[in-house]
């Protein structure tokens, strides 16, 4: 395959041969764990300790930065390039990037959980600082001058008293092929040129000028088109099918049947789609009716037998007076889609050496590679995965399934690239959704409405069925003649959590207990959507604390500050309120204001959202008039990048909260197009102001999922303020609002 994607120093995408380059890291070296006696290194440098695994100084006066994290639209490539340029003292334009290539880059695990900056950022900073130190030592040897007093400007090292040499002159042989020591101190924030400033995103130019930016646009020589024929519903089995007529259709090269797995390969895309439709019509399936239906899902969750009851937090109040009143409320989050605008896509080739090479837009290229190798029954060295950007999502959509399907079809057409891109109906009906959740909140309060005892019960199916090296997590692998069973999903523990992510309120209540009812049965296929359980949990927590504040006749901002002991949390809430104009806001008919707050995972970025809405009582429509978000992401590398993340999360959360719900009957998902699964439109996006709280010198904090929960809660709280009616079941559709107002 001759269209491998690589990001060059100007941010344009260029094709180079899809072969192992001369400087490639050995296939397994990047994931080796360090010996226990070695000092701990920052971030993911701790598990990939060789400096040359991260940094290459090239003779053409560029620096290649290799990272295992991948670009999903969050701006990680730009941010780490800024860090690298600053620590090496080179111009930003000299940095080239290779990311997410299992043959070349460090294994940094998945690009998930807002971990890119906390894990990759410190690793790049330390590796770059140590590379600079090595260059200075080499310069001292060459010039016969001490490193003290040496300065570096754009890769040129100048010694005190005269004499200079460049990185490009010094970088010969194996200068960087050594382990990082952790003893080199990175620069103080005051000396950065790029970190803390907004620079042009390196992934944007090609997208703006119509360059080759996305996997969907790749057209390697000799490429064929595949299409998968799914069953009518999850548990259906293929009874019979006559493939002979389909094999005679124009352009059809192969009809693939393996158990209940059906697919076609054709010369052209429209030929593959036509053959797939004919194959679906010809197939006879045994169909089982086994779903509870969308309207029955809340009761199903509460009554399902949990696989585990997890005491996420058990901190009973120690003594004191009993509560004078107990307040209870139940909240519901439905199944929600990733709803990627571009459907999932992958391209795979089986070469003459038996290596299956896959272009994919997965967030977990290394784990997906392991799962593909096991599915195909080959050694890990026989599979190479290379990330290419896709018009995708944050979370586990069908990108991994597309990679697995392309790999399966490549086995029957050796030497020819086989491309898979799902139809809209196929993506909508078969992607792993965000789990439905029931949240039961209860609080015991004193006579003044102060919280004494806080309890939250979380009812949820899993939030993580990513490949994880297991082929049973691929959709098609479950339908093969020798099927792979889906592993029993697990729930992450602290501090990351999954179903109970952000289930522990950051407020300092005298007593707080959180119990997670973790249900491993899955009526619908589910996995990670942006924020996992945080969106539902923060919606419930921040709605409930608003209810308690209003019951106590206390301003919602003041009530939150009463229980927030973390000064950074207080700053985030106060900043959002001040910029919104909370204390000066005047009540008007049909309008309301609301606020929501969370620190993502209680360990990552802080975010508070204040919002003003208008509710039309006649038709039940909610119009968001404006939103203000505050964001504390620690030491900010790219202000524009943080703003983009907060804005994007806020807009997506508005869409979830106002519109999105997967509908299904007792047999199958019925939300199979944009009419049956509407999302927010451009005209419905409100003015958004993001206020950054920068804290130079503090750790980088993840930002990509910080605004999901606070936005949904702020919206629900504003609607209550406008109408006097509390809506606890999402989404807040016009029909649901109209019914609530007339009840």
pTM confidence score:
0.92
Last residue of a domain, one of 157, 184, 206: 206
- At 98, give phi and psi (nearest 5°): -125, 125
Q: Residue 328 has what pLDDT?
A: 98
Q: Is residue 327 part of a domain?
A: no
In DSSP terms, 179 is beta-bridged to: 50
Q: Is 474 a member of any domain?
A: no
> Do 151 and 226 fall within a single domain?
no
Final residue in a domain of this structure, among 183, 206, 229: 206
Confidence at residue 154, expressed as pLDDT on a 0 to 100 scale: 97
Q: Do 351 and 455 belong together in one domain?
A: no
Domain membership of residue 394 (yes or no) is yes
- Asked if the structure places residue 476 within a domain, the reply is no
pLDDT at 347: 98
Residue 301, domain member (yes or no): no
We report the CATH number of the domain holding residue 63 as 3.30.365.10
By three-state DSSP, how is residue 57 classified? strand
Rounded CA-CA distance 258/280 in Å is 15
Q: 184 in a domain, yes or no?
A: yes
Residues 264 and 400 occupy one common structural domain: yes
Per the CB < 8 A criterion, the answer to whether 681 and 563 are in contact is no
On whether both 160 and 178 belong to a single domain, the answer is: yes
Identify whether residues 390 and 421 lie together within a single domain: yes
- What is the number of structural domains in the chain? 3
Same domain as 45, residue 191: yes
Say if 487 falls within a structural domain: no
283 and 398 housed in the same domain: yes
Give the per-residue pLDDT at 36.
58
Same domain, yes or no: 201 and 222: no
Query: How far is Cα 332 from Cα 436, in angstroms, rounded to an integer?
Result: 8
The 8-class DSSP code of residue 729 comes to: B
Cβ proximity of 422 and 402 under 8 Å: yes
Low-confidence ranges of the chain (pLDDT < 50): 1-35
Q: Which residue has the tokens 């890769």?
A: 155
Residue 329 falls inside a structural domain:
no
Both 381 and 400 in one domain: the answer is yes
Are residues 121 and 259 both part of a single domain?
A: no
Boundary of a domain, candidates 155, 178, 206 = 206
pLDDT of residue 249: 97
Q: Same domain, yes or no, for 714 and 566?
A: yes
Q: Which domain holds residue 724?
A: 437-463+498-742
Angle between the 639-658 and 708-723 helix axes, to the nearest 10 degrees?
50
Pair (265, 239) in one structural domain: yes
């Amino acid at each position: 395959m001759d269209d491998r994607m690589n990001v060059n120093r100007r941010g344009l995408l260029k094709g180079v041969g899809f072969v192992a380059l001369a400087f490639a890291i050995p296939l397994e070296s990047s994931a080796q764990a360090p010996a226990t006696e070695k000092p701990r290194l920052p971030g993911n440098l701790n598990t990939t300790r060789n400096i040359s695994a991260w940094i290459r100084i090239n003779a053409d006066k560029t620096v290649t930065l290799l990272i295992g994290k991948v670009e999903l639209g969050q701006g990680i490539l730009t941010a780490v390039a800024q860090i690298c340029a600053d620590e090496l003292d080179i111009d930003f334009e000299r940095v080239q990037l290779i990311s997410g290539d299992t043959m070349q880059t460090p294994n940094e695990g998945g690009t998930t959980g807002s971990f890119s900056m906390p894990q990759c950022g410190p690793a790049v900073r330390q590796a770059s600082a140590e590379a600079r130190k090595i260059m200075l030592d080499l310069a001292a040897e060459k010039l016969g001058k001490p490193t003290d007093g040496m300065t570096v400007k754009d890769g040129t090292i100048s010694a005190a008293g005269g004499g200079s040499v460049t990185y490009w002159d010094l970088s010969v042989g194996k200068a960087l092929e050594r382990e990082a020591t952790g003893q080199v101190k990175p620069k103080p924030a005051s000396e950065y040129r790029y970190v803390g400033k907004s620079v042009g995103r390196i992934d944007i130019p090609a997208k703006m000028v119509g360059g080759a930016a996305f996997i969907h646009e790749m057209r390697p020589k000799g490429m064929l088109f595949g299409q998968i024929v799914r069953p009518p519903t999850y548990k259906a089995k293929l009874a019979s099918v006559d493939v002979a007529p389909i094999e005679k259709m124009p352009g059809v090269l192969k009809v693939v049947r393996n158990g209940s797995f059906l697919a076609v390969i054709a010369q052209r895309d429209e030929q593959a789609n036509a053959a797939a439709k004919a194959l679906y019509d010809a197939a006879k399936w045994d169909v089982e009716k086994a779903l509870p239906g969308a309207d029955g899902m809340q009761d199903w969750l509460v009554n399902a037998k949990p696989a585990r009851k997890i005491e996420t937090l058990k901190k009973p109040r120690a003594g004191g007076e009993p509560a004078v009143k107990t307040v209870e409320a139940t909240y519901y989050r439905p199944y929600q889609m990733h709803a990627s605008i571009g459907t999932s896509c992958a391209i795979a080739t089986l070469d003459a050496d038996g290596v299956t090479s896959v272009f994919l837009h997965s967030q977990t290229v290394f784990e997906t590679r392991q799962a593909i190798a096991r599915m195909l029954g080959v050694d890990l060295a026989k599979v190479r995965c290379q990330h290419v950007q896709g018009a995708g999502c944050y979370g586990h959509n069908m990108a991994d399934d597309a990679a697995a399907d392309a790999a399966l079809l490549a086995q029957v057409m050796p030497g020819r690239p086989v491309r898979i891109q799902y139809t809209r109906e196929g993506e909508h009906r078969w992607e792993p959704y965000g789990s439905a959740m029931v949240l039961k909140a209860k609080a015991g309060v004193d006579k003044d409405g102060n919280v004494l005892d806080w309890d939250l019960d979380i009812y949820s199916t899993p939030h993580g069925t990513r490949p994880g090296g297991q082929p049973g997590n691929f959709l098609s692998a479950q339908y093969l003649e020798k099927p792979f069973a889906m592993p029993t999903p697990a729930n992450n523990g602290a501090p990351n959590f999954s179903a109970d992510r952000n289930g522990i309120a950051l407020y300092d209540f005298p007593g707080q207990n959180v119990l997670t009812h973790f249900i491993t049965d899955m009526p619908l296929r589910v996995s990670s959507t942006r924020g996992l359980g945080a969106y539902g949990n923060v919606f419930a927590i921040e709605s409930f604390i608003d209810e308690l504040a209003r019951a106590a006749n206390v301003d919602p901002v003041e009530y939150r500050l009463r229980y927030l002991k973390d000064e950074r949390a207080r700053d985030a809430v106060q900043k959002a309120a001040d910029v919104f104009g909370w204390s000066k806001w005047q009540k008007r008919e049909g309008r309301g204001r609301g606020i929501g707050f969370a620190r993502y995972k209680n360990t990552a970025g802080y975010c508070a959202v204040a919002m003003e809405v208008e509710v039309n009582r006649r038709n039940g429509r909610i119009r968001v008039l404006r939103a203000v978000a505050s964001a504390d992401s620690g030491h900010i590398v790219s202000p524009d990048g943080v703003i983009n993340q907060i804005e994007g999360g806020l807009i997506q959360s508005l869409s979830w909260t106002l519109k999105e719900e997967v509908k299904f009957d007792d047999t199958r998902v019925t939300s199979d197009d944009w009419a049956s699964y509407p999302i927010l439109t451009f005209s419905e996006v409100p003015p958004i102001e993001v206020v950054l709280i920068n804290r130079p010198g503090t750790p980088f904090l993840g930002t990509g999922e910080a605004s999901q929960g606070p936005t949904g809660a702020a919206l629900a709280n504003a609607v209550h303020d406008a109408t006097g009616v509390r809506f606890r079941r999402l989404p807040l559709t016009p029909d649901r609002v109209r019914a609530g107002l007339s009840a």
